[in-house]
Amino acid sequence: MRVLVTGGAGFIGSAVCRRIARLPGWQVVNLDKLTYAASLASLADIAGAPNYRLVEGDICNRDLLAGLFAEFQPQAVIHLAAETHVDRSIMASDAFVQTNVNGTHALLEAALTHWEQLGDTDRRAFRMIHVSTDEVYGSLGESGLFSEETAYDPRSPYSASKAAADHLASAWHHTYGLPVMISNCSNNYGPFQFPEKLIPTTILNALAGRPIDVYGDGGNVRDWLFVEDHVDALLKMLAGGVPGRTYNIGGHGERTNIVVVERICALLDEMAPRGAPHRNLIRLVADRPGHDRRYAIDATRIATELGWAPRHNFEDGLRATVRWYLDREDWWRPIRELRHSGERLGLKRGAP
């Protein structure tokens, strides 16, 4: 199979590219703008593979997309290119609208043109996955789960831009017949995650002996999904997913932020002791504006229809992730020194 992956130099995208490049008979083209969050080092293992190719470019560039579809003739598209960090969207939303909304629109148009020119057999086989987030559903109370029928209620510029893109993907299926599926996943974690998100930031700040900031009272809940389990789900969707369907992907790993941070500190006390307990570095800071209280995924549909289930529980996945960051300073050190040093983001414009 020939697969076009957008955003394949990012955290999830690089995991998808690494997996596909190892599948016999598969080819993958990675279209990535190589923004601040991209890492070619995450793709070093496959950079020379004959079935992998990187194309640097913007999904908003329609001429580039048209040429790439015409040359590569993909049989599937996995659309991961996006601005994803809520804190950055609070500070500057323009890039989120441009990439997540306008870029998705441009990609849908290019995919539609390509799909309409295929023969009947290839048209029936073609698939596109638009990868989205559980954040489009808003915030849960103390009970309940997000299902595919949950009404959209985005609360941040990031989640609003992803919700808009979801609606475009759905419309291109219902109006034009483009065989698009949407995935809404919970919070991913694992190796190669850019160190601005909670888990890698906590690990690296703790190793440096710097304060570990936890927003608000630390009681915000997320459903944690190991990145390789997410890749499994996306490949299950390619193999058997129904066009026009949405599939929620969750890791059955609900934890409050403070529990996650404290567990990382305990693992570091075990693996990289520093004298005083790492938890002494934790401090509660002013909450993120519009911070959703709780996310949790009902993944029944993808489990029953496609036979997917996460292979990693949170405890094992977190331990493996901490171990990876301890072992791979060569990967994260240049990022911390040149692109993001672990400082707080996400304050409102003009806030101290």
184 touches 250 (CB < 8 A): no
Catalytic residue among 58, 83, 134, 196: 134
Active-site residue flag, 247:
no
Catalytic residue among 135, 166, 213, 262: 135
Whole-number pLDDT of residue 288? 87
Rounded to an integer, what distance in angstroms lies between the CA atom of residue 114 and that of residue 66? 8
Report which of 22, 143, 37 is spatially closest to residue 8, judged by C-alpha positions: 37
Active-site residue flag, 134:
yes
Encoded tokens for 51:
């079935």
The pTM of this model reads: 0.95
- What's the full length of the chain, in residues? 352
Rounded to an integer, what distance in angstroms lies between the CA atom of residue 277 and that of residue 183? 39
Catalytic residue among 58, 83, 137, 158: 158
Active-site residue flag, 135:
yes
Mean pLDDT per segment of 10 residues, for the chain of length 352 residues? 98 98 98 96 97 98 98 98 92 96 98 98 98 97 96 96 98 98 98 95 97 96 98 98 98 97 98 95 93 96 98 97 98 90 64 44
Whole-number pLDDT of residue 342? 73
Contacts of 170 (CB under 8 A, 6+ apart): 180, 182, 244, 246
Whole-number pLDDT of residue 240? 98
Rounded to an integer, what distance in angstroms lies between the CA atom of residue 45 and that of residue 152? 39
State how far the alpha carbon of 325 is from the alpha carbons of 47, 85, 195, 320, in Å.
Answer: 21, 20, 10, 9
For residues 337-347, one letter each, b for 16 or more C-beta atoms within 10 angstroms of the residue's C-beta and e for the rest, the string is eeebebeebbe
Contacts of 152 (CB under 8 A, 6+ apart): 136, 137, 138, 163, 166
For every residue of 3-31, which 3-state class applies, written as one string? EEEECCCCHHHHHHHHHHHCCCCCEEEEE
Domains of the chain with CATH codes: 2-188+227-253+294-312 (3.40.50.720)
